[in-house]
């Protein structure tokens, strides 16, 4: 188990656990280290579970250390801020030739670690590798469903974080359950439009890695993105909301990258645009909500 932070690795070794997973033992044969070369010694599979904006830097560190192409499973959910690339596209640039798959779906790490029932999408363009990974990663409480649509799996995981911030804003502003339901549903429509333009299958986005993850992240207080949006809706600044939270809030960096990606593909995503404007454009929350509600009426399936 490799940790980017040497102090985190040392703490896991000293205590046999992590403060982010209270009550969960991390003990032999699992060993925590901050030495990447040591962590890679003899491996035949890599799970990339760093934040999305750290994936490229990690890949650049991995490149000289990999003696052979080892399959990498992407666990990060986001879009690269500078390039607008999906994580698989980042890996294709930074580690060309490496076999990849995507693990995504409605998961909170604490529940997975505690052995609570969880179902996810394992998406891989290579069906043989995908089937092997499902068999390797599946557990009695952790059920991967195989998909051949890694683009859809990644879009679902990235877009839902931005929509969860919007749901949090709705909650923080006290706008009610009707508004939340409308936002989730219209947000799903945005996700499907983007997926269609990017070559994803709608069935993928209606599954665990799309609708499933969207429902979880937009309704659970365990969600960092929802919690940040709630803090914003209650009147805190972005700086204050981030300082009060815990860990990485992927939707903050993904929101503007998502908007640029959608515009480049000619896809209309007004909710994502609104979140990006509030987070990074100084837009008023109340004025932005009013503008969304004032949009021209249209057919629901348009």
Instruction: Report the chain's terminal Cα–Cα distance, integer Å.
Output: 47
Q: pTM for the complete prediction?
A: 0.96
Q: Residue with structure tokens 């949006």? A: 229
User: 77, 116, 160, 298: which is the annotated catalytic residue?
Assistant: 160
pLDDT in tens, 126-163: 999 999 999 999 999 999 999 999 999 999 999 999 99
Select from 208, 259, 209 the least CA-distant residue to 79: 259
**Domain segments of the chain: what residues?**
151-293
Catalytic annotation present for 160 = yes
Give the pair of three-digit tokens for residue 208. Answer: 């665990």
Q: What per-residue confidence (pLDDT) applies to 302?
A: 81
Q: What per-residue confidence (pLDDT) applies to 246?
A: 84
Q: Residue with structure tokens 């998502």? A: 258
CA distance 19 to 129: 34
DSSP letter at 285? H
Q: What per-residue confidence (pLDDT) applies to 67?
A: 85
Q: What per-residue confidence (pLDDT) applies to 49?
A: 97
User: How many residues does this entry show for the chain?
Assistant: 302
Assigned CATH topology for domain 151-293: 1.10.1040
CA distance 184 to 173: 16
pLDDT in tens, 201-250: 999 999 999 999 999 999 999 999 999 999 999 999 999 999 998 889 99
Q: Is 73 helix (H, G, I), strand (E, B) or coil?
A: strand
- Rounded to the nearest integer, the mean pLDDT of the chain is 97
């Amino acid at each position: 188990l490799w940790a980017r932070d040497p102090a985190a690795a040392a703490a896991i070794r000293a205590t046999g656990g992590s403060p982010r997973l209270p009550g969960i033992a991390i003990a032999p044969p699992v060993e925590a280290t901050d030495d990447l070369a040591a962590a890679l010694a003899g491996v035949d599979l890599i799970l990339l579970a760093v934040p999305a904006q750290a994936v490229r830097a990690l890949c650049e560190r991995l490149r000289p250390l990999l003696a052979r192409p080892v399959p990498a499973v992407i666990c990060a959910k986001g879009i690269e801020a500078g390039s607008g690339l999906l994580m698989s596209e980042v890996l294709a640039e930074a580690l060309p030739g490496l076999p990849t798959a995507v693990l995504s779906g409605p998961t909170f790490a604490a529940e997975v670690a505690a052995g609570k029932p969880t179902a996810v999408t394992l998406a891989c363009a290579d069906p043989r590798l995908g089937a092997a990974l499902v068999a390797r990663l599946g557990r009695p409480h952790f059920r991967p469903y195989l998909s051949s649509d890694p683009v859809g799996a990644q879009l679902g995981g990235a877009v839902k974080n931005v929509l969860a911030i919007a749901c949090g804003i709705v909650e923080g502003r006290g706008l009610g359950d009707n508004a939340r339901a409308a936002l989730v549903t219209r947000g799903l429509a945005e996700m499907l439009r983007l997926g269609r333009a990017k070559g994803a299958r709608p069935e993928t986005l209606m599954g665990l890695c799309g609708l499933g993850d969207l429902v979880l992240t937009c309704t659970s207080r365990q969600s960092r993105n929802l919690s940040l949006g709630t803090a914003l809706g209650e009147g805190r600044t972005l700086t204050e909301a981030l300082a009060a939270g815990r860990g990485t809030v992927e939707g903050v960096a993904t929101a503007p990258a998502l908007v640029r990606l959608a515009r480049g593909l000619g896809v209309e995503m007004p909710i994502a645009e609104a979140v990006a404007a509030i987070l990074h454009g100084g837009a008023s929350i109340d004025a932005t909500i009013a503008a969304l509600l004032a949009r021209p009426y249209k057919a629901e399936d348009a």
